[in-house]
Amino acid sequence: MTIAITGATGQLGRLALAALKARAPQADLIALVRNPAAVTDTPARAFDYTKPETLAPALAGVDTLVLISSNDFNDRAGQHRAVIDAAKAAGVGRIIYTSILKGDASPMLLAQDHIATEAALNASGLSVTLLRNGWYSENYTGALQASVAHGTLIGASGAGRIASAARADYAEAIAVTALDDSHADKTYELAGDVPHSMADFAAEVSRQVGKDIPFNTLPKDTYAQILQSFGLPEGFAAILADSDDHAARGALLDESHSLSYLIGRPTTPIAQTIAAAL
């Protein structure tokens, strides 16, 4: 069985390749990337979401395609549809797609591209495995050093509980479902085992650094403006603030434990991800 992974040099794709190799060292893997020369340890093929005519040839001989959602917000759903069409034309047997927690029930702006992609997958006639990923814990630790330096964490999630998990946990779920066809035509809501509020997160950061780093929750629009002042594009800042706002009402909470069930171990504690970032 040949397994191909899009975005294989990205943060999630790299970890997914590593997880596949760890679980099945002899697996036939293909890295689908814009620049194949950047991949030295796995057979690689040129694959660019924005060049639809190049996609089907790159998928020749692929049995299972892991479609990691694009991080390009310029017609992301259209890019995904082009990949799905190419997979169908190339005779791919199954697509594994990294969607968003709660899928078509998610109220987030960020969910719209995923909802459109899930609809395209459903209409394709292909076998599909949906991995509806919750928030990465690393979403909160990427700028942690700066937050500690400024003495505060900010957001718009209020007291909302967030079931985040480490990116490596989600990568393991990709590996598990790619290597076993029994996961075909199934949907998994994936999230961390132990939900936390951002106040909980701030308390753990405070414990680890030895000083008080409070979490200050802000109105959505105020938070979006601050994110823009940090240099984020207006549209992306609005999406992040909207996501936080909906997290305050449970959009990022899931207690099914499907992720730990799939990977066969507890999800990575938030304290561990914080320690790694610090």
Domain containing 125 — which CATH number?
3.40.50.720
Which of 74-78, 160-164, 174-178, 273-277 is least confident? 74-78
Query: Does 71 have pLDDT greater than 90?
Result: no
Which of 17-31, 64-78, 117-131 is least confident? 64-78
Query: Does 219 have pLDDT greater than 90?
Result: yes
Backbone angles phi, psi at 245, to 5 degrees: -60, -40
pLDDT, average across residues 106-126:
96
First to last CA, the chain: 40
Give a yes or no: residue 275 inside a domain. no
Q: How sure is the predictor about 54, in pLDDT bands with cuts at 50, 70 and 90?
A: confident
Give a yes or no: residue 77 inside a domain. yes
Give a yes or no: residue 272 inside a domain. no
Query: Does 72 have pLDDT greater than 90?
Result: no
Quick one: pLDDT at residue 53? 87
pLDDT, average across residues 125-147:
95
Nearest-angstrom CA–CA distance, 224 and 156: 9
How many domains does one find in the chain? 1
Nearest C-alpha neighbor of 273 from the set 161, 166, 134, 168? 166
Q: What is the pTM of this model?
A: 0.96
Give a yes or no: residue 197 inside a domain. no
pLDDT, average across residues 114-126:
97
Nearest-angstrom CA–CA distance, 4 and 247: 33
Give a yes or no: residue 62 inside a domain. yes
Nearest C-alpha neighbor of 62 from the set 30, 34, 35? 30
Give a yes or no: residue 208 inside a domain. no
Would you say how long the chain is, in residues?
278
Which ranges constitute the DSSP H helices of 94-251? 111-124, 138-141, 144-150, 167-179, 198-209, 220-229, 234-247
